[in-house]
Amino acid sequence: MFWDIVCCARYANKQPSSQKGQEIQGRFVGFAFDVGYAPTFLLLTDNTRKVIKRSVLRLAEGPENEVRLDQNNL
């Protein structure tokens, strides 16, 4: 969903195999329809505050991303 905290691979010099295992954390801000064949996502990075495009994201673990039902409205 919009503004969820997500993680993606960090690419140095645009080579996927470099710095393997490191991730960038940021916020999901939308879809990039002008890049690639598969769905490409827009990510606002936490450290640089720039929007980058990635085709693979994962939802970060944390309390902000948990969806809970309001028990009072049931």
Q: pLDDT at residue 25 above 60? A: yes
Residue 66 inside a domain? The answer is no
Number of domains making up the chain: 1
> What mean pLDDT is reported for the chain?
78
First to last CA, the chain: 24
Structural domain span for residue 17: 5-60
Predicted local confidence at residue 4, as pLDDT: 86
Average pLDDT, integer, range 53-67: 78
Residue 9 to residue 38: CA distance in whole angstroms: 17
User: What is the secondary structure of 11-74 as a DSSP string?
Assistant: -BTTBTTTTTT-EEEEEEEEEETTS-SS-EEEEEETTT--EEEES--EEPPSGGG-----GGG-
Average pLDDT, integer, range 20-44: 85
Residue 29 inside a domain? The answer is yes
The pTM assigned to this predicted structure is 0.68
pLDDT > 90: what percent of the chain? 20
Q: Phi and psi dihedrals of 67, rounded to 5? A: -100, 125
Residue 11 inside a domain? The answer is yes
